Structure 1
Amino acid sequence: MHFTRTTDGVTIAYQKLGRGPALIWMPSLSNIAAQWRIPALRTAYEVLSRECTLVLYDGRGTGDSSRDIDLADLGVDSHVRDLTAVLEATGLRRATLLGYYHSVATAISFAALEPRRVSRLILYGGAPRMSDAMQPAQTQALLSLVDKDWSLFADAAATAWLGWDGAESGRWTAEAFRTATTPAIAKAWFEAARHIDVTPSLAQVEAPTLVLHRQGDQQIPVSVSRRMAAGIPGARLVELPGKTPTLFVEDPAADLSLVIGFVTAGRVSRTLPSGALTRREQDVLRRLAAGDTNNEIAANLGIAVHTVERHLANIYRKLGVRGRTAAVAHALRGT
């Protein structure tokens, strides 16, 4: 973990991994150190960093960043200062921004303010007017738990809100939430988010933009994503199949292929290169990309562990690779 300071003196924790076109995965309620323990996120970080220079950071008040912050200063300007400090510390002149949940508005604002520093923009799970992303009844019920029962909020957010249904992933995600910040900071953080509205900045975004929306997502209406895409000149909207309100979980290989293709070449495709793999081998590869162990793959697919091992051996042989991460990365590159 590395550290830098913002212009207003807040310490920001960040990581820089890999080589290639720069991708900054912007934070929501972030806790990078704990997020690495979540199998699907760990795999996403590893695969992305094989194709890109991947930058992760904890926003002010969260994770390993400073928690001694001004709770009255958590609007979009403060988050832009965090991002600017990370860009300066990493020496990146330009990068693709992945605005994720709460950071969607920050990504839009920065792209409008600093067009020469943003090569491309990917937006998922948020809105330019953050209150639009916080309106569903389930979201309101969850937010009411923040200062009443922080541990219950963390558990509920991991499962009901973000859709982490795997037992191990759900536990690690809840723990990441629980240790990401304090209830007081989280309450101030969500309250400030209600007042963030960067809608006027949409028309000023010059970077090629990809807006993603999960079709079955019950947390944010698709109309919110459609309006956001319509407001950004030339933006493309992809409505992803499935219902899990999280990237890189329900169909991680396809999600990663889509993101990598856009970051590296501006390409938008949902095709998962599969080479000569059988349907079952493709199923195993997808579970591999989700971070499952051999036992978990066997349980999810209803097959024996030794059958999983045989499929993996065939996958490695057909793709000409030596290990798990290399197999996923090879498939995503389509080479």
Structure 2
Amino acid sequence: MTRVRGGDTGVVDDLPEVRFARTGDGVTLGYQVFGRGPVLVWMPSLSNIVAQWRIPVVRAAYLGLSRHLTVVLYDGRGTGSSDRRIDLTDLGVDAHLRDLQAVLDDAGIERASLLGYYHSVATAIAFAAREPGRVERMVLFGGAPRLREAMRPAQTQALLSLVDQDWGLFADAAATAWLGWDSAPSGRWTAEAFRTATTAPVAKAWFEAAQHIDVTAELGRVRAPTLVLHRQGEQQIPVEVARRLTGGLPDARLVERPGSTPTLFLEDPAADVRLVTEFVTTGRVSRPAAGTAAQMLTPREGEVLRLLAAGDSNSEIARRLGIAVHTVERHLANLYRKIGARGRTDAVAYALRHTPD
């Protein structure tokens, strides 16, 4: 089992070995294999598998999944530990399929479940349609068969405009405003993982190619049982996109997870890990048991609630936690909804009744 040093030092001990596969068109790809049990390939978007181990929440997700699953991570062409010098005109779905095929073949994996995440949702669908004998099950989050649908929200378009203007600013904004990693050290290390994942020209080419990826015609040929997960705020991908995806697949279920952070394993991470693990190992989907409202709060929301109950203003909370005021406001809106508060007074009353001293 991988051992990783905790805390916010960013130092990772005993990482899984980075292996290297070679695609049919001569691109070298870095990948890792760890854990035990049925194989789950966590497919990449812009990734840096080594840097991602430094993100505490992501590291916890990797280790949580690896208790019952063999997890495969890899960097797609042009990113992370894979070849950076690539043909920027060849980043469509066929190129990404060559990446996945090369990793599976090099690792000697005949059959696996796929976790398609954001950009790689379309690739997972295409592979399952074209290679049905190699895909056991699929878990899909944050993407769409027509990728431009997942990239349409105004906030996403505004962020993508930063890619070739200010790569560092894009990385910071993507980690916080886009993906919701507000808390230190997760936000800091997520931004660093973005920043080191690739270069601005490669990222720009990735996103431009994604606008043209459309595997809608292949949905009906997918035979793998599929779990579609959705957790997004109003400014991110609307739930209708996930519902259309689910309806287009012959054997799919949609689970809408509570919360508004557009990622897995950040809000209620233990339940997300259980949900994915159970589906991959058994094919069953058991909705997480409803807990108390306090149990449903994220750690950051709990901190905001405690400071609110202590009488701090939004600006004081922001200063104490090292986050923006608008982020405090977003956390307040989320926790108000979870605890049924109509406003600040109700939330303070709730905190006094339910928050331990």
Gaps of 5+ in 2: 1-17, 308-357
In the aligned structure 1, how far is the partner of 2:144 from the partner of 2:296?
Answer: 33
In the alignment, which residue of structure 1 is the partner of 2:274? 257
Measured in 1, the distance between the counterparts of 2:233 and 2:29 equals: 35
Residue-by-residue CA offset, 1:159-186 (whole Å, 9 max, x unaligned): 0110111121111000000010000000
Bigger relative contact order, structure 1 or 2 (CA pairs below 8 A, ≥6 apart): 1
- Match of residue 46, structure 1, among 46, 63, 73: 63
Match of 1:158 in 2: 175
Q: Which residue of 2 aligns with 1:224?
A: 241
Q: Could you tell me whether the CA contact under 8 Å between 1:71 and 1:188 is conserved in 2? A: yes
C-alpha distance in structure 2 between counterparts of 1:45 and 1:245, whole Å: 18
Q: CA deviation at 1:216?
A: 3.2
Please state how far the C-alpha of 1:273 moved relative to its aligned partner: 11
Change (3 A) 1:4 1:29: same
Q: Does the CA contact (< 8 Å) of 1:32 and 1:57 recur in 2?
A: yes
Counterparts in 2 of 1:27 and 1:70: CA distance versus 1, 3 Å: same
CA contact (8 A) 2:232 2:262 kept: no
Letter in 2 for 1:244: T
1:240 aligns with 2:257: yes
Cα shift at 1:187: 0.5
Shift of residue 249, structure 1, vs aligned partner: 0.1
Given the superposition, is the C-alpha separation of residues 139 and 261 from structure 1 closer, same or farther in structure 2, using an over 3 Å criterion? same
- Residues 70-85 of structure 1: matches in 2 within 5 Å? 70-85=87-102
Q: How many residues align?
A: 290
Q: Provide Cα deviations, 1:89-125, integer angstroms capped at 9, x if missing partner.
A: 1111111000000000000000000000000011000
Uncovered stretches (5+) of structure 1, i.e. residues with no partner: 288-295, 304-335
Query: Equivalent residue for 1:332?
Result: none
Is contact 1:120–1:208 with CA below 8 Å preserved after alignment? yes
Distance 1:191 1:223 in 2: 23
Given that 1:217 and 1:244 are in contact with CA atoms closer than 8 Å, whether structure 2 keeps it comes out as no
State the 1:300 CA deviation: 7.3
Instruction: Confirm or deny: 8 A CA contact 1:215 1:239 kept in the other structure.
Output: no
Q: Distance in 1 between matches of 2:150 and 2:97?
A: 20
Deviations 1:113-170 (A, max 9, x none): 0000000011000000001011111111000000000000000000011011112111
Query: Out of 50, 70, 77, which is 1:33 matched to?
Result: 50
Partner of 2:223: 206
Q: Distance in 2 between matches of 1:219 and 1:115?
A: 31
1:253 and 1:43 map into 2 onto residues whose CA distance is 9
User: What is the rounded CA distance, in whole Å, between the counterparts of 2:189 and 2:81 in structure 1?
Assistant: 17
Asked whether the 8 Å contact 1:23–1:263 carries over to 2, the reply is: yes
Distance (Å, rounded) in 2 between the aligned partners of 1:138 and 1:279 = 29
Match of 2:140 among 116, 123, 130: 123
In 1, Cα distance between the equivalents of 2:194 and 2:215? 26
TM-superposed CA distance for 1:270, in Å, is 2.5
Residue type of the alignment partner of 2:147: M
- 1:264/1:219 CA distance change after superposition, 3 Å: same
In the alignment, structure 1 residue 196 sits paired with structure 2 residue 210:
no
Give TM-score scaled by structure 2 length.
Answer: 0.77
Structure 1 177/21 Cα, relative in aligned 2: closer, same or farther at 3 Å?
same
**Identity rate of aligned residues, in percent?**
69
Distance 1:301 1:207, change over 3 A: same
* 1:274-307 residue CA offsets vs partner (Å, 9 max, x unmatched): 9xxx998x789x86xxxxxxxx99967859xxxx
One-letter amino acid matched to 1:157: A
Residue among 138, 156, 162 paired with 1:145? 162
Superposed CA RMSD in Å reads 2.2
CA distance in 2, matches of 1:85, 1:8: 10
- Is the contact made by 1:257 and 1:272 (CA closer than 8 Å) also made in structure 2? no
How many angstroms does 1:47 deviate by? 1.0
In structure 2, the residue matched to 1:4 is 21
Structure 2 residue corresponding to 1:172, chosen from 169, 189, 205:
189
Find the aligned partners of 1:137 and 1:217 in 2 and give their Cα distance: 11
* Superposition pairs of residues 54-65 of structure 1, within 5 angstroms: 54-65=71-82
**Alpha-carbon distance change, 300 to 108 in structure 1, aligned in 2, over 3 angstroms:** same
Does residue 96 (structure 1) correspond to residue 101 (structure 2)? The answer is no
Evaluate the alpha carbon distance shift between residue 56 and residue 133 of structure 1 in structure 2; reply closer, same or farther with a 3 A threshold: same
SS at structure 2 position matched to 1:203: helix
In 1, Cα distance between equivalents of 2:229 and 2:45: 16
SS in 1 for 2:113: strand
Segments ≥4 residues shifted beyond 2 Å? 215-218, 270-274, 296-303
Aligned to 1:181: 198
Q: 1 CA distance for matches of 2:166 and 2:232?
A: 31
